[in-house]
């Protein structure tokens, strides 16, 4: 993992749709007092730029997805991994336990794993310039 030295999860990341394999959004991961947070800064799907989170619950219901935090307060678990939080899927309105880490083989890739019980799904986000 020596290739990861100096690599940070902070910054801008492009998400890819699991089904279409096309770019979906740009998120910014940033540090706050209580841990790492990520917000949607741009939606890349034509016609969805001003989409609302219609399936969300609580204060997020019917709010713009752009600008919304998809996770907050992730804690550092080890030198390269953050977790102990939940990630929102704005498409379904569901929240999943989450863990994120830099791909040791490709430091410009971020692994994002959402968990339900013993099941999980891992996405790969790609680092982009602001």
Check residue 80 and give its pLDDT: 83
- Whether the predicted model's global pTM rises above the 0.75 cut: yes
Helix (H, G, I), strand (E, B), or coil: what is residue 11? strand
**Per-residue three-class SS string for 53-90:** CCCCCHHHCCCECCCCEEEEEEEECCCCEEEEEEEEEC
Whole-angstrom Cα distance, residue 96 to residue 122? Answer: 12
Domain boundaries, the chain: 2-128
What does the pLDDT profile of the chain (130 residues) look like in tens digits? 444 555 789 999 999 988 888 999 999 999 999 999 999 999 999 999 999 999 999 999 999 999 999 999 999 998 889 999 999 999 899 999 999 999 988 999 999 999 988 899 999 999 998 7
State the Cα–Cα distance between residues 110 and 54, nearest whole angstrom.
27
CATH number, span 2-128: 2.40.128.520
């Amino acid at each position: 993992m020596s290739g990861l030295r100096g690599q940070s999860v902070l910054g801008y990341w492009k998400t890819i749709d699991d089904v279409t394999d096309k770019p979906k959004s740009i998120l910014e991961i940033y540090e706050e007092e209580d841990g790492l947070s990520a917000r949607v800064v741009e939606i890349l799907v034509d016609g969805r730029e001003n989409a609302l989170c219609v399936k969300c619950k609580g204060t997020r219901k019917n709010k713009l997805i752009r600008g919304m935090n998809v996770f907050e307060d992730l804690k550092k678990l080890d030198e390269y991994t953050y977790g102990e939080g939940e990630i929102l899927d704005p498409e379904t309105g569901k929240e999943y336990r989450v863990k994120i880490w830099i791909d040791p083989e490709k430091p410009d890739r971020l692994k994002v794993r959402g968990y339900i019980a013993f099941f999980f799904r891992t996405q790969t986000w790609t680092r982009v310039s602001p």
